[in-house]
Amino acid sequence: MNRWSPCKRREFIRKLRTLGFDPPEPGTRHFVMRLGSHKQIIPRNDDYSVPQFRKLLAQVEEKLGRSISAEEWQGL
C-alpha cells in the first residue's frame, strides 16, 4: 500500500490536468484551475507538505465527486 508523501506544485498541476482540470490561470493571489463550474485554488509555494496536500486533494475529491486513493494518485 502506498503512503501519502509531499508533492511538488508542478506535479500537482500536471496530475490535475490528467483528471480533467483546465490549465492554471492567474487569480488575485493564487492561480486557479477550473473543472466545469468548479474552481480549485493552487497555492504558490513550490512544495506542498502532506497535510496541505491532503487538504487540497480533499477539495479536488469533492469537485470530482469521488475519492482518490494513494495508488491512483501515484499512477496519474
Residue 1's pLDDT is 55
Structural domain range at position 15? 7-75
Give CA–CA dist 15/61, Å, rounded.
13
Is 14 part of a structural domain of the chain? yes
Give CA–CA dist 30/45, Å, rounded.
10
Residue 13's pLDDT is 97
Is 2 part of a structural domain of the chain? no
Q: Is the pLDDT of residue 3 over 90?
A: no
Residue 64's pLDDT is 96
How many domains in the chain? 1
Q: What is the pTM of this model?
A: 0.92
Residue 43's pLDDT is 95
Query: For the segment 32-65, what is each residue's pLDDT rounded down to a tens digit?
Result: 999 999 999 999 999 999 999 999 999 999 999 9
Q: Find, among 19, 47, 50, the residue nearest to 33 by Cα.
A: 19
Is 27 part of a structural domain of the chain? yes
Give CA–CA dist 37/11, Å, rounded.
23
H or E segment to which residue 53 belongs: helix 50-64
**Domain at 25, CATH number:** 3.30.920
